[in-house]
Structure 1
Amino acid sequence: MPQNDIAYGKIQTVEELGRLARAHRKQRRLTLETVSGLGNLSTRFLSEFERGRETAEIGKVLKALRILGLEVIIQPRGQVVLTHRTGKIHEKTT
């Protein structure tokens, strides 16, 4: 799956976060076992996280996202942060 087919951006539910993480992992051709080994996380936890289980521990979720090369950005609602391949961030208020 090309990276452009993944809907990165605003996440409103645990299910959306899990689906995004799973799509990104698969796009990078990583197995649950590989991510598990890199982060000392169980494959069961990773599978439940990707399926949107709401009881997932936030610390483990953040660790899994870091391993996948993803980051969480917190910002006020209505504000859009646009990033470019250069890594520069431009803020735009909607």
Structure 2
Amino acid sequence: MLRYLKNKAQDEKMGIKPRGALSKLAYAMISYFIFLKVANYFGYLATWTIYPMAIPAAITFSFVSMLLGTYYLKKGLKISNKILKYKTFSKNHKHRRSEKSRRI
């Protein structure tokens, strides 16, 4: 029994440790799908175990993708506006001669 507890403690130390919100979500989803595969293998899978998790996961995925899409779209527009402002500035800008070149 003591050997079993030591091995279990070592396995916990070497296990996957998620960091960050996205990693924790991915870890939870992977562990859930592993559970489904094991449950399906042993024949204990019922339809009520799939749908309560799949529907909120789909809603969460669509919401997060919408948020990230709007963030990066706005970020891209800000960058492109800066580039356009620079291009129009450089076209309309008239270069003046410096004081040193005027004296010569």
Between Structure 1 and Structure 2, which shows a larger proportion of helix residues? 2
The higher radius of gyration belongs to 2
* TM-score, normalisation: structure 1: 0.27
Relative contact order: is structure 1 or structure 2 higher (C-alpha 8 Å, sep ≥ 6)?
1
